[in-house]
Amino acid sequence: MEITFAPPADVWSTNRDRNLHWAQRAKLVKAWRQCSHVECVAAGLSELPPSLVTISLPFARNGRRDPMNYVGTVVKAVIDGMVDAGCWPDDTAEFVEIRQPVLVVGGDGLVRIAVSPLHH
């Protein structure tokens, strides 16, 4: 299954995160977490089995970016919003495995969350 939505705020990396004021960072985290929560509830996602999640993040311009630099910022906030929506009891490895984010230049500018059952 896949959920799409417009980014609620800037996509920011761990590199930028180091220089943000705590209040500015809190606003970004809250925006992404709340948006993810609302979109999951609207899509009827709840009580998912252990899942593999891939998040695609949009960018307007080409540039050198390390996808892993978005895991501790945007991806973490999105996953936390999914937990808030009741997708899983927690975001531990028992319930969710997160793939490296996909960074998409151009396109429709939407965030994509792809969720599939996790098979161990």
Extract the tokens encoding 44. 């009827």
Buried b / exposed e along 44-62 (16+ C-beta atoms within 10 A): ebeebeebebbbbbbeeee
Q: Where are the domains of the chain?
A: 13-49+63-103
107 pLDDT band, cuts 50/70/90, is: confident
Q: Which of 51, 43, 58 is nearest to 111 (CA)?
A: 58
Per-residue pLDDT tens over the stretch 6-21? 999 999 999 888 998 9
User: What contacts 64, CB < 8 A, 6 or more positions away?
Assistant: none
- What's the average model confidence in pLDDT over 48-55? 96
Considering the chain, what percentage of its residues have pLDDT values greater than 90? 82
120 compared with 33, residue with greater pLDDT: 33
